[in-house]
Amino acid sequence: MGAASGSRKVLSKGRSPDCRTNNATYNWNEHYPTDWRPSLTTLKSPMLTPSTPAIHWDDPTREAAFGDWLAHVATTHHLDTSSLCIASADASFRRYFRILGPAQSSAIIMDAPPDKENSEPFVRIAKLLTDANLPAPHVLAWDEAQGFMLLTDLGQHTLLDVLRTPEANAPVAGAPFAEPRVARALMEAAVDLLIQWQLASKPHTLPPYDDALLRRELQLFPDWYVQQHKGITLDAGQQAALTLSFERIIATNLDAPQVFVHRDYMPRNLLVDRSGSLGIVDFQDAVMGPVTYDIASLMRDAFWTWDDDFVMDITIRYWERARKKGLLNHADWATDFGAFFKAVEWMGLQRHLKILGIFARLTLRDGKPKYLADTPRFIQYVRATASRYIELKPLARLIDQIEGA
């Protein structure tokens, strides 16, 4: 899914009708000369391969309603209904289609059944982003009652797609596939957008990331990952260790300065257009919460593992820019990177435990097993953080017991 900068009334220009990328055939050396500097203006999109799988509808009534709605918006926005194809789907019940407009422009259609997905936060937060001059989708048409929406299109390639594009000379395991200078430039651009988003924060605008929400998210770990997925019932000692760890994590995270939080700010939710500019998507769950959250999710990605040196480098760059903007005027964070980084790790720990629970729930409740393949990454994240701080040693031991180490 994506959005374009510019007028609300104009669809994004220069898009291909193809809906999927073919990263395996892309050669970075062909597109990046050896003297290329990390200027995002030179970035080119990965190659595309035509793919138009049939759009399946479980509910014939909804299919008919969509057809009627599409016919109406196609007339208004001059869309080619024969070009409609699947763009993407996510862990929710939302689906995204791509459709061509005039002069090979394109737009995105969101299918979000209202009995399963509330699209109002998406519309409201999209406006917050665009009001802050951030690249997010513009809503061109919205049938709130039926859950259909027409959006501007930011492009077909996520930052994750670009980072995973192989070079001619494959790097060592764990390193980004993308040419290192490209990866660094794009991640620094992601940092700049994040700071711009945080600087736009206004009190009482988004729901609070409060004690109740932090606690509810953490509870997904024992409920779904430990009990349902692993089939383990914690004994009294283990439950006490987990409860103590949760209390420490929540207290630390609630102490952080509060800003707008995307809540899933990672390469899969950032789009890269042909100029190298980034766009922000999947922001509908945004809240007002810890300033440490989004940088933690950016650097400890759900689907990609960065080298620790790279994590430190980009986090330092964030810290340097954020403190100059007054975002880190808390305790000694503005002068002590180590203190700030500890807070980032503790915030990341809450997210990792939550995601372990979510991925188990997606598999067991929602029938989406592909997410479980990434749980070892999060177990490694949790182990790395919990073993680094003496206050979290009980959690580290508990993880070893759960994983049978």
pLDDT at 177: 55
Distance CA 63, CA 249 (A): 46
**Do 322 and 299 belong together in one domain?**
yes
* CATH number, domain with residue 321: 3.90.1200.10
Look at 350 and 3; give whichever has higher pLDDT. 350
Enter the DSSP assignment of 142: E
β-bridge pairing 258-261 and 270-272? unpaired
**Do 58 and 187 belong together in one domain?**
no
Q: How many structural domains comprise the chain? A: 2
User: What helix, strand, coil percent values describe the chain, rounded to 5?
Assistant: 45, 15, 40
Query: Could you tell me which of 86, 105, 106, 83 has the C-alpha nearest to residue 94?
Result: 86
pLDDT at 51: 45
pLDDT at 6: 32
Tell me the pLDDT band of 399, cut-offs 50, 70 and 90: very high
**Do 283 and 379 belong together in one domain?**
yes
Q: Is the pLDDT of residue 126 over 80?
A: yes
Q: Is the pLDDT of residue 195 over 60?
A: yes
Asked if the structure places residue 147 within a domain, the reply is: yes
Tell me the pLDDT band of 35, cut-offs 50, 70 and 90: very low
Distance CA 111, CA 108 (A): 10
Average pLDDT over residues 103-115: 93
Q: Is the pLDDT of residue 300 over 60?
A: yes
pLDDT at 168: 30
Encode pLDDT of 127-143 as tens digits.
Answer: 999 999 999 999 999 99
Look at 216 and 185; give whichever has higher pLDDT. 216
Determine the structural domain holding residue 334 and report its residue range.
Answer: 159-403
**Do 93 and 224 belong together in one domain?**
no
**Do 185 and 328 belong together in one domain?**
yes
Asked if the structure places residue 66 within a domain, the reply is: yes
**Do 209 and 272 belong together in one domain?**
yes
Asked if the structure places residue 38 within a domain, the reply is: yes
pLDDT at 233: 97
Where b means 16+ CB within 10 Å and e means fewer, 106-131 reads bbbbbbbbeeebebebbeebbebbbe
Encode pLDDT of 276-288 as tens digits.
Answer: 889 999 999 999 9
pLDDT at 155: 86
**Do 109 and 170 belong together in one domain?**
no
In Å, the largest CA–CA distance within the chain is: 66
Asked if the structure places residue 104 within a domain, the reply is: yes
- Range of 55-64, 152-161, 178-187, 213-222 with top mean pLDDT: 213-222
Tell me the pLDDT band of 90, cut-offs 50, 70 and 90: low
* CATH number, domain with residue 38: 3.30.200.20
**Do 54 and 100 belong together in one domain?**
yes
Asked if the structure places residue 137 within a domain, the reply is: yes
What 3-state class would DSSP assign to 206? coil
**Do 187 and 272 belong together in one domain?**
yes
pLDDT at 103: 85
Asked if the structure places residue 285 within a domain, the reply is: yes
Q: Last residue of a domain, which of 93, 123, 152?
A: 152
Encode pLDDT of 68-88 as tens digits.
Answer: 999 999 999 999 999 999 987
Q: What are phi and psi of 37, to 5 degrees?
A: -105, 155
Tell me the pLDDT band of 384, cut-offs 50, 70 and 90: very high
**Do 374 and 244 belong together in one domain?**
yes
Q: Is the pLDDT of residue 9 over 80?
A: no
Enter the DSSP assignment of 266: S
Q: Which helix (H) or strand (E) holds 143?
A: strand 139-143
Distance CA 56, CA 107 (A): 20
Using a pLDDT cut of 90, give the percent of the chain over it: 71
Using a pLDDT cut of 70, give the percent of the chain over it: 82
Q: Which helix (H) or strand (E) holds 58?
A: none
Distance CA 45, CA 31 (A): 9
Q: Last residue of a domain, which of 99, 130, 152?
A: 152
**Do 134 and 176 belong together in one domain?**
no
Q: Which residues contact 278 (CB under 8 A, 6 or more apart)?
A: 135, 159, 186, 189, 190, 193, 270, 271, 272
List helix spans (H) across 365-392.
375-386
What 3-state class would DSSP assign to 197? helix
**Do 261 and 225 belong together in one domain?**
yes
Q: Last residue of a domain, which of 107, 122, 152?
A: 152
Q: Is the pLDDT of residue 28 over 50?
A: no
